[in-house]
Structure 1
Amino acid sequence: MEERLKELRTLTGAGLLECKKALIASEGNVQIALIKLRGEDDEPPDPEPEAFD
């Protein structure tokens, strides 16, 4: 896991703990951890309801 942690830190510049949490959440998958760190796995916000006249 140390090599993947080092790779993730090099790719993102993120902190050690942040990278470790992302790797644990992604079960060691660096590509998924990258997505998590970038925030791309978040669901898009709900669209604003249109105002009624």
Structure 2
Amino acid sequence: MAYPTSTLLKYLKLSIKAVSELRRFLNSITKKLKARRGDNNNNRARKLQRYYE
């Protein structure tokens, strides 16, 4: 099964893009869950960030 390299690269780019989109989506979900739960570490990090700005 010899594919031309151009189509192979196109599929590779598409899959990489899809994976990054999925990761961003999952990150947003976990951030929302952490915010709803009131994660202590998250709050501490936010306070430190505010302090150093």
Q: RCO higher in 1 or 2 (8 Å CA, sep ≥ 6)?
A: 1
TM-score (norm 2): 0.25
Find the structure with the greater CA-based Rg.
2
TM-score (norm 1): 0.25
The structure whose residues are more often helix, as a share, is: 2
